[in-house]
């Protein structure tokens, strides 16, 4: 960016904000929060910050609740409204929007470390994410959500909640540490290896807690027919070892698409580690389940440990469960918690306003853990409508004279850019959601077919596959040997050809597995199997029927109906832009149709986004650790903004910003469009004067509007929540 535009950017950054007071009615509970805050200020001999004007409130509300800036049209609608309670109505509108679902999905995906790839790229991982989306969309009470997650058993076809344990498959102790951190704000991971050095928790207490959850195990789909078939193979004395191995491999291939789809509660007992060194127990001692604090859990022989643990964890009587979620959501609204850190509470922890913290806990219980109702209560306070505090010294109590001035998350930045491109920014990635739906349905149908197919028929299929594999393995071995030799000689062309042959052999094997197990299922006398086979074959080749269930689903965007709201907007824009010829109209519609994939909310992209994506460059969490996002600026971020194709995409083609700029007649109007689109307000006289001066200085420049857009995007005013 050149010097003049850099100076222009600085002018925008330091320009002052109007402090016109704006009245907003609140509920009695919201007013009580303001009263408790005011009492805290009086004790500290400080005052609350001044109220903000509608410009600041609008942008703050959108970013806090929906996770993005308002579009120019949304901003106009708010400013044009004459309703006396328009702020409260805006809050209600945002809380009921799909934008709320996207924004809080990002938050809980970070907290729960939910990843779309998950274990083995399984169907369970995607269904887990969709379970979280639906829970937020349905406004499932928080205590119910937490209880379902920690008590979940069964297949991913029964509930997506099993993803909570599948996420930590093979790491039950790490899962427990995350559970206590997330839901109880208590860090006990150190006690896994020794008594906690900075808190009261002992290693024995850690393992007593782990006794509730350690036997929750993620595994592959368990079929009675498969189990019986495996037993029959082992006991068949007429089979040689190689054939037995190949038959087992054949069964494994048939059930491979169902890997990592089941969480079971086994009966294994937990013991103290062999390295245990404290006098209150001996190494390898059996451990009985016991909670670390709160009301003891009475267990009997008939008790289901995981159900009892879920009830204890989410009880309103649990001394930390309510406090932690009340404090977490307070921080989401105001930028800091009354306790900090929000997930490291100790007996010595003291809230910056203890009376307020107690009040919030009581309200959370009274609201029955309704997160939207709780957020509505906070958002309708006068405190939320006050000017932000620019700096809060680390490690010092903050008394919430206003929200904290803070940088957007990576998702908020990306989603705000999406708003500048996509006319329906909150629309779901419907081709991805449809693909996931089809895959879940296919896997469920495959499980049903294989489960209901008689063991003898599975044995017959595995024998047929084993015969094919016996012959094919000889070719595999030769091809692999040839591939090693070609690579050693650096013969890339030959290596490429051999790899192609290997891939083709793998395809043939998958087709063979599909055909043989399809034929076996076809011989079954089960009418449900026959109905399922008829549904999936749909008149096509029979070997492809099972293959369709085993493979990844594909969804062609052309086969998906355009979202109704988007379709209406597209037709309106065609008229406004004067697009009349059919070819141009088709191109415009295809562009708009593809936006739900290319310019969609962060919540609709892989979780987390691939390395190198804008989101990762701007600090998105890798979802390996609880809340592992970064909010620090970096050189790669600046380069992404300045040298990437980002600004060009915002200002070219048929983006929302580009269309609105085309509609603007004069330079004055175009500047107004830029400010309203990026800052949710009109420019101040001084700002407009500087921009007009820049336009005169660069008259005739083809990139001037790109440069001006970049100047606005590069400021604190865009990247921070005021």
Residue 18 has pLDDT above 50, yes or no: no
Residue 610 has pLDDT above 80, yes or no: yes
Burial class (CB in 10 A: 0-12, 13-18, 19+), 184: buried
Q: Based on the fold, state whether residues 210 and 328 are members of the same structural domain.
A: no
Q: Based on the fold, state whether residues 92 and 152 are members of the same structural domain.
A: no
Residue 522 has pLDDT above 70, yes or no: yes
Q: Of 567, 558, 577, nearest to 654 (Cα)?
A: 577
Residue 542 has pLDDT above 70, yes or no: no
Any domain includes 203: yes
Alpha-carbon distances of 489 from 479, 484, 485, rounded to whole Å: 15, 9, 6
Out of 378, 400, 421, pick the residue that ends a domain: 421
Host domain of residue 130 = 102-221+259-313
What residues have CB less than 8 Å from 511, skipping those under 6 apart? 543, 547
Out of 374, 390, 421, pick the residue that ends a domain: 421
- Which two structure tokens, joined as six digits, stand for 553? 């689903």
Q: Based on the fold, state whether residues 325 and 309 are members of the same structural domain.
A: no
Q: What is the DSSP string of 194-244?
A: SS-SSSS--HHHHHHHHHHHTTEEEE----HHHHHHHHHHHH-TTS-HHHH
Query: What is the overall mean pLDDT for the chain?
Result: 88
pLDDT of residue 456: 95
Give the pLDDT mean for 134-148.
Answer: 98
Residue 552 has pLDDT above 80, yes or no: no
Query: With contact defined as beta carbons under 8 Å apart, do 382 and 23 qualify?
Result: no
CA angle at 285 for the pair 280 and 290, rounded to the nearest 5°? 70
- Angle at which helices 685-697 and 667-679 cross, to 10°: 120
Q: Based on the fold, state whether residues 264 and 149 are members of the same structural domain.
A: yes
Q: Is 721 helix (H, G, I), strand (E, B) or coil?
A: strand
Per-residue pLDDT band for 499 (boundaries 50, 70, 90) equals confident
Per-residue pLDDT band for 533 (boundaries 50, 70, 90) equals confident
Q: Based on the fold, state whether residues 272 and 366 are members of the same structural domain.
A: no
Q: Based on the fold, state whether residues 589 and 705 are members of the same structural domain.
A: yes
Give the pLDDT mean for 333-359.
Answer: 94
Per-residue pLDDT band for 19 (boundaries 50, 70, 90) equals very low
- Which two structure tokens, joined as six digits, stand for 152? 């979940």
pLDDT, tens digit (0-9, with 9 covering 90-100), for 21-49? 233 334 789 999 999 999 999 999 999 99
Give the pLDDT mean for 628-648.
Answer: 85
Name beta bridge partners: 141: none
Any domain includes 192: yes
What residues have CB less than 8 Å from 170, skipping those under 6 apart? 218
Q: Of 321, 309, 312, nearest to 364 (Cα)?
A: 321
Name the most confidently modeled range: 115-124, 161-170, 462-471, 589-598. Answer: 161-170
Q: What percent of the chain has pLDDT over 70?
A: 93
Give the pLDDT mean for 321-346.
Answer: 96
CA dist 409 and 67 (Å) reads 9
Q: Based on the fold, state whether residues 485 and 592 are members of the same structural domain.
A: no
Any domain includes 335: yes
CA dist 401 and 52 (Å) reads 12
- Please indicate whether residue 629 or residue 4 has the higher confidence score (pLDDT): 629
Out of 313, 336, 353, pick the residue that ends a domain: 313
Q: Based on the fold, state whether residues 87 and 166 are members of the same structural domain.
A: no
Give the pLDDT mean for 101-113.
Answer: 97
CA dist 382 and 87 (Å) reads 11
The torsion angle over the Cα atoms of residues 374, 378, 379 and 382, rounded to 10 degrees, is 160
Give the pLDDT mean for 113-120.
Answer: 82
What's the sign of the alpha-carbon dihedral 633, 623, 192, 149?
positive
CA dist 597 and 660 (Å) reads 22
CA angle at 638 for the pair 634 and 642, rounded to the nearest 5°? 170
Give the pLDDT mean for 91-118.
Answer: 95
What's the sign of the alpha-carbon dihedral 602, 608, 610, 615?
positive
Number of domains in the chain: 4
Q: Is 650 helix (H, G, I), strand (E, B) or coil?
A: helix
Q: Based on the fold, state whether residues 130 and 208 are members of the same structural domain.
A: yes
Q: Based on the fold, state whether residues 145 and 40 are members of the same structural domain.
A: no
Give the pLDDT mean for 206-220.
Answer: 94
Give the pLDDT mean for 669-693.
Answer: 95
Helix (H), strand (E) at residue 155? strand 154-155
Give the pLDDT mean for 462-471.
Answer: 88
What residues have CB less than 8 Å from 660, skipping those under 6 apart? 72, 673, 677
pLDDT of residue 1: 42
Q: In what order do the strands lie in the sheet with 216-219?
A: 154-155, 262-265, 216-219
pLDDT of residue 536: 75
pLDDT of residue 12: 36
Residue 565 has pLDDT above 80, yes or no: no
Q: Based on the fold, state whether residues 547 and 435 are members of the same structural domain.
A: yes
pLDDT of residue 352: 96
- Please indicate whether residue 646 or residue 644 has the higher confidence score (pLDDT): 646
Residue 474 has pLDDT above 90, yes or no: no
- Which two structure tokens, joined as six digits, stand for 444? 């469920």
Q: Based on the fold, state whether residues 92 and 24 are members of the same structural domain.
A: yes
pLDDT of residue 628: 93
Any domain includes 232: no
pLDDT of residue 547: 67
Give the pLDDT mean for 97-124.
Answer: 91
Task: Count the neighbouring beta carbons within 10 Å of the beta carbon of residue 278.
Answer: 13
What residues have CB less than 8 Å from 42, skipping those under 6 apart? none
CA dist 70 and 77 (Å) reads 10
Q: Which of 75-79, 473-477, 491-495 has the lowest mean pLDDT?
A: 473-477
Residue 339 has pLDDT above 90, yes or no: yes
Q: Per residue in 571-593, is it b (16+ CB within 10 Å) or e — as a string?
A: eebbeeeebeeeeeeeebbeebb
Any domain includes 679: yes
pLDDT of residue 6: 35
Give the pLDDT mean for 198-209.
Answer: 90
Residue 7 has pLDDT above 60, yes or no: no
Any domain includes 6: no
Any domain includes 1: no
Any domain includes 246: no
């Amino acid at each position: 960016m050149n010097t003049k535009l850099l100076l222009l950017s600085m002018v925008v950054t330091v320009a002052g904000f109007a402090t016109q007071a704006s009245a907003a009615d609140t509920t009695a509970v919201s007013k009580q929060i303001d009263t408790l805050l005011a009492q805290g200020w009086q004790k500290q001999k400080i005052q609350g910050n001044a109220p903000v004007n509608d410009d600041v409130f609008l942008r703050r509300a959108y970013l806090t609740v929906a996770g993005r800036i308002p579009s120019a049209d949304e901003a106009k609608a708010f400013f044009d409204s004459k309703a006396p309670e328009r702020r409260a109505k805006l809050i209600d509108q945002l809380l009921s929007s799909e934008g709320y679902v996207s924004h809080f999905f990002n938050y809980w995906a970070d907290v729960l470390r939910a990843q779309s790839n998950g274990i083995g790229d399984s169907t369970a991982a995607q269904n887990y994410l969709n379970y979280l989306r639906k829970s937020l969309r349905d406004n499932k009470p928080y205590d119910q959500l937490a209880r379902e997650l920690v008590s979940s058993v069964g297949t991913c076809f029964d509930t997506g909640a099993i993803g909570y344990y599948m996420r930590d498959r093979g790491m039950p102790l790490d899962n427990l540490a995350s559970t206590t951190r997330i839901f109880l704000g208590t860090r006990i991971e150190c006690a896994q290896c020794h008594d906690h050095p900075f808190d009261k928790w002992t290693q024995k207490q850690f393992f007593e807690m782990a006794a509730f959850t350690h036997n929750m195990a993620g595994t592959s789909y368990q079929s009675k027919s498969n189990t019986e078939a495996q037993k029959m193979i082992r006991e068949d004395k007429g089979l040689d070892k190689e054939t037995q191995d190949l038959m087992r491999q054949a069964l494994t291939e048939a059930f491979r698409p169902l890997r990592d789809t089941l969480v079971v509660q086994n009966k294994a007992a937990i013991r103290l580690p062999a390295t245990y060194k404290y006098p209150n127990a001996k190494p390898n001692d059996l451990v009985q389940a016991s909670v670390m604090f709160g009301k003891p859990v009475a267990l009997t022989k008939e008790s289901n440990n995981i159900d009892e643990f879920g009830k204890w964890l989410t009880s309103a009587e649990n001394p930390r469960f309510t406090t932690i979620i009340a404090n977490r959501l307070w921080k989401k609204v105001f930028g800091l918690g009354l306790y900090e850190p929000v997930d490291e509470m100790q007996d010595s922890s003291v809230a910056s306003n203890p009376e307020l913290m107690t009040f919030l806990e009581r309200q959370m219980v009274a609201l029955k853990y309704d997160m939207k109702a709780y957020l509505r209560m906070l958002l309708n306070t006068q405190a939320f409508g006050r000017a932000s505090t620019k700096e809060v010294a680390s490690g010092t109590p903050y008394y919430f004279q206003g929200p904290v001035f803070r940088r957007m998350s990576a998702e908020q930045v990306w989603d705000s850019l999406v708003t500048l491109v996509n006319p329906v920014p909150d629309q779901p990635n419907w081709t991805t959601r449809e693909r996931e739906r089809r895959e879940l349905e296919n896997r469920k149908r495959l499980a049903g077919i294989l489960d209901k197919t008689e063991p003898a028929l599975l044995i017959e299929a595995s024998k047929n596959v084993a015969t094919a594999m016996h012959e094919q393995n000889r070719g595999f071995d030769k091809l692999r040997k040839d591939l090693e030799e070609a690579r050693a000689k650096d013969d890339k062309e030959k290596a490429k050809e051999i790899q192609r042959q290997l891939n083709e052999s793998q395809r043939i094997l998958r087709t063979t597995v599909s055909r043989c197990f399809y034929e076996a299922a076809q011989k079954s006398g089960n009418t449900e199997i026959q109905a399922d086979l008829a549904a999936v074959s749909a008149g096509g080749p029979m070997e492809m029927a099972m293959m369709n269930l085993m493979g990844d689903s594909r969804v062609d965007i052309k086969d998906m109906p355009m979202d109704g709201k988007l379709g209406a907007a597209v037709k309106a824009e065609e008229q406004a832009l004067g697009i009349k010829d059919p070819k141009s109209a088709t191109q415009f519609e295809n562009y708009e149709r593809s936006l739900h994939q290319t310019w969609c909310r962060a919540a609709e992209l892989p979780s987390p986004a691939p390395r190198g994506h804008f989101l990762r460059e701007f600090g998105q969490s890798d979802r390996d650790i609880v809340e592992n996002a970064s909010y620090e600026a970096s050189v790669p971020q600046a380069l992404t903004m300045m040298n990437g194709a980002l600004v060009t995409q915002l200002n070219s083609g048929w983006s929302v910003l580009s269309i609105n700029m085309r509609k603007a007649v004069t330079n004055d109007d175009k500047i107004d469009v830029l400010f309203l689109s990026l800052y949710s307000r009109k420019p101040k006289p001084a700002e407009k004067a500087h921009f007009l001066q820049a336009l005169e200085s660069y008259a005739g420049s083809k990139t001037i509007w790109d440069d001006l857009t970049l100047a606005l995007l590069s400021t604190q005013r865009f990247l921070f929540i005021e």
